[in-house]
Amino acid sequence: MGEKTADTGLRIPAPGGFDLVSLGALVHRLDPGIIPFRKATSCQIHVSGGEFNVAANLADCFRLKTGIVTAMVDSPIGDLIAERVRAMGVSPLYKHFASNGVTGPNMATVYSDRGFGVRAPVVFYNRANEAAGLLRPGDFDWQRLFAQGVRWLHSGGIFAALSETTSGVILEAMQAARDAGAIVSFDLNFRKKLWDLWGGTDKAQEVIHCIVQHVQVLVGNEEDLQRGLGIAGPDVAGSSRLDPQAFLGMIDAVVASYPNIKVVATTLREVQSSNRHRWSAVAWINGAVHRAPICDLDVYDRVGGGDGFAAGLFYGLLTGEHPADAVKLGWAHGALLTTFPGDTTMATLEQVRAFAKGGSARIQR
C-alpha cells in the first residue's frame, strides 16, 4: 500500500510500471479553425478523448509514465490515432477491432469550430457504431496490468455514457485498482445527449453512483455534481462562474454520500468572448479548500483546458507537492493548454511552473 501523503489523505503508491493509466475512448477531432463547418474547405486533425488527454499531458509535459486502455480499430483512421498516441509518449493498451470497411466499427469523429469574438464555438459528433462503446467486462486483464505497478487509474463520465457495457468495464478496472492500492480518479463530464440515448438522467445517476463509490479523486463542477450525482445545489445559471461558493456549498453533501472521496476539484471559467476568458480553479482536498488565482486568458483553442487542469493537479498530488501548489500547477497547465491548437499539451514543465509562480508572457531569452 502507499504511504499517506501529508495534507491530502491519499496513499500514493511507490513508482512502478505506470504512474497513471487512463480508461476511455480515443477520438479524432476535425478542426477548421475559426471557419464554421458549413463553410470549411480544410481541417486540422487532432487526436483526443477526455481520459486520454490526461494521460497524454502527463507523459508529454510532466514526463510521467502513462498508458491508455481503450478500443482500437484496425483501419487508416485507427493507424492515424495510434501514431499520435505514440507521439505523445503514451503506452497503448488496446483491444483491437477489425473494420468491415463500410459500417465499422469506427473510431468516433468530433467536429468543431473555434468560434470568434461574439460567435461561440460549435462542437458536434458522430459516434455511430463506436468501437469503444463495444467494450465490455472481461476484455482486459486488469490483474496482469496492475501487477506491473500502476499508481493511479483515471476514467470519466463520457466513457461511462457510451453504452450499457462501458460502465461495467470502469467498475471492473476500479475494483482491480483498489485491490492493488492504486489511486482512483473520475471526471464526471456529464453529457446529457449521450445518456439520453439509453436511459436519461436517472440511469446516469444510478450508474455514476456505483462508480463514484470507488473513487478518491473526483473532478467536476457544480452542474456535473447536480446532474451526474443528483446532489442538490443552486441554480448554476444564476451564479458567477468565478465564484466557487456554489461548488463548495455542495462538498459536504458529496462527502457525506461518498466518504471515500478525498479530493473534489474543478476549473472556474467566465467566458467574455470566444477568445477572452477569465480562468481560475478550486479544490477541496481532505477538508481544506485551495483556490487558484484568477487570470485573463487570450484563448486560441479552448478544447482540453479542463483535462489540462486535471493533469497538472494529478501531477502535483502524485509527486507530493503541497495541495495548494498542486492546484496551481493544474490551473497553470490548463491555462497554457488553451494557447495551443488541439486537445493535448504543447507546454513544458518549466513553462507550467513559471506560470504557476506568477510568470508573464515576457519573451524568454
| Predicted pLDDT at 6 | 60
Residues 6+ apart with CB under 8 A from 19: 58, 64, 65, 66, 151, 152, 318
Q: Which three cell numbers stand for residue 55?
A: 494521460
8-state DSSP, 102: S
Overall average pLDDT of the 267-291 stretch:
96
- 348, exposed or middle or buried, with CB in 10 Å at 0-12, 13-18, 19+? middle
Q: Which tens digit of pLDDT belongs to each residue from 192-241?
A: 999 999 989 999 999 999 999 999 999 999 999 999 999 987 765 555 78
Which of 245, 128, 119, 147 lies closest to 197 in space, CA to CA? 128
Phi, psi angles (nearest 5°) of residue 161: -90, -5
Q: What percent of the chain has pLDDT over 90?
A: 92
| Predicted pLDDT at 233 | 79
| Predicted pLDDT at 269 | 95
8-state DSSP, 73: E
Which range is most confident: 170-179, 246-255, 351-360?
170-179
Which of 125, 127, 194, 128 lies closest to 164 in space, CA to CA? 194
The sign one gets for the Cα dihedral 195, 198, 199, 204 is negative
Measured CA to CA, the distance from residue 137 to residue 285 in angstroms comes to: 32
Measured CA to CA, the distance from residue 182 to residue 203 in angstroms comes to: 28
Model confidence at 363: pLDDT above 60: no
Residue 267's beta-bridge partner residues? 281
| Per-residue pLDDT band at 3 (split at 50, 70, 90) | low
Q: Which tens digit of pLDDT belongs to each residue from 298-318?
A: 999 999 999 999 999 999 999
Residues 6+ apart with CB under 8 A from 173: 23, 69, 140, 142, 153, 155
